[in-house]
Amino acid sequence: MLRACGVSDVGRVRKTNEDTFVSDPEMRLFAVADGMGGHSAGEVASRLAIEAITAFIRRSAADADFTWPYGVDEMLSFDGNRLRTAIYLANRRILRAAETTDDYSGMGTTIVGLLVNGTRVSIGHVGDSRLYVLAHGTLEQITHDDSWAATILAQDPSLGPAEIAHHPMRNVLTNVLGAREQLDIHLAERDLEGGEVMLLCSDGLHGAVEAGAIKDILAAKSDVDEAARALVETAMECGSRDNVTALVVRYDADA
């Protein structure tokens, strides 16, 4: 059984909310997008991404007669390929929209998504929106940020968090939807046992709330609605200067 709740808040600084999410237990689809770009283009990019992904997942579930415009990855399941194709289509839709007006030029968005099939979950992400999984009392960050900071830390682990935190390029993303035709999507699949709590979130949350606090909230709040709201409220209390989105999904094995 899947239970889910998403909460998104504009935050205390921004005038518009450029985060968009979908939470659909019936389709077993959950995703968070965090847009960027001037003239409200970030809001447009994230909305287009979620719309495109949702539309393809819905269509491919209802009708087996569809094509794979980006081929098939034989290492992934059928649902894994559905999610992969949906993200590619979202990238194409944003690129095409950006060509229609100068106001949309350069817009982009992150994406992190889940598609659940029984006890198996397919994961896709681009950018720095994250997926965490709490299982057996341990919180694991499943995704790895496509950011300058993450790249530098991987190359030189001797750098301290303080050095990275004050670098002018610390928030620069190296991979987003809408930046180029050749998109690098990170895809993975894993099994679920039952009792897992999954958190999809924008950087307005994970940039303000430490992993230990995220773990404590997810462990203490068995109700997904309460957990999502507590995470967003905590991010704002911790001084988040961005839009904040938390989408909490709980999987319990059927009796």
In whole angstroms, give the CA distance from residue 122 to residue 195: 17
In whole angstroms, give the CA distance from residue 193 to residue 215: 19
Contact 146, 127 (CB under 8 A): yes
Give, for all 255 residues of the chain, the pLDDT tens digit.
999 999 999 998 888 999 999 999 999 999 999 999 876 799 999 999 999 999 999 999 988 788 899 999 999 999 999 999 999 999 999 999 999 988 898 899 999 999 999 999 999 999 999 999 999 999 999 999 998 776 666 666 665 555 555 555 566 788 999 999 999 999 999 999 999 999 999 999 999 999 999 999 999 999 999 999 999 999 999 999 999 999 999 999 875
3-state secondary structure string across 156-207? CCCCCHHHHHCCCCCCCECCCECCCCCCCCEEEEEECCCCEEEEEECHHHHC
Residue ranges of domains in the chain, CATH in brackets:
2-251 (3.60.40.10)
The tokens for 21 are 């999410």
pTM, to two decimals: 0.93
Element counts in the chain: helices (H) and strands (E): 7, 11
